[in-house]
Amino acid sequence: MPFFDKARASLPACWQAAIGGEFDAPYMRALEALIASESAAGKTLYPAEELIFAALARTPLSRVKAVILGQDPYHGPGQAMGLAFSVPPGIRCPPSLRNIFKELEADIGVPAPRHGCLLDWADRGVLLLNASLTVEHGKAGSHARAGWQRFTDRVLQAVSARSAPVAFLLWGNHARSKAPMLDAERHLVHVSEHPSPLAAYRGFFGSRPFSKTNAFLAARGITPIDWQIGSGCAR
């Protein structure tokens, strides 16, 4: 069975119903072939194959309360784990993630954890989605034009189509470009600068995405998100 077919079969049923048909589209088959050919040519791709769709596998569509949109996976050894901005325990937090934790503490008083693993967020309904789900080692954006964005746009549209209100946190110009496809009448579409060191002081710091998300959810009778991150990182 082709890898993407196995990945689709392993996704929660709600995701399969909403976007499962995308896996049969020619662009997805071309993506699968590209990943296979680059791997066969000796290129190192991130994340590992079994983690490419980790964001969807970990956070079912029916449980999504918020979406944090990244651009593409980290492109250094051991960093990418299929969840936007997240790194496994033992891996140094990248600068953008450190700035996210600074804003988290300034916004709602949650101290920065000792690691950068965001599985706790994913398990509580935060879809940590990258616009591109793979990347070549050392080459940021290398798969940006490979077709992934068509797939992840369908993911965003599937979340936006739900009746349950969701907070979309769009950080930086690339994420902001997705705003027009989202239903801002029913959902919170929160736009700010990117948390990278080059942009954080231009509007990410002080944007209060965590408190605004929880206020939005609470006002609609939805249990707010617990943004605390535990000391462990259960797989």
Contact 203, 193 (CB under 8 A): yes
Buried b (16+ CB within 10 A) or exposed e, 91-100: bebbebbebb
Active site residue 72: yes
Q: Which of 5, 24, 72, 183 is catalytic?
A: 72
Separation between Cα atoms, residue 60 and residue 155, nearest integer Å: 11
Helices (H), 20-94: 26-40, 54-58
Helices (H), the chain: 3-10, 13-19, 26-40, 54-58, 95-108, 119-123, 148-160, 173-176, 209-219
Separation between Cα atoms, residue 124 and residue 129, nearest integer Å: 14
| In the block, residue with structure tokens 């450190």 | 98
The H or E element containing residue 46 is: strand 45-46
CA 169 distance to own-chain centroid: 10
Active site (catalytic) residues: 72
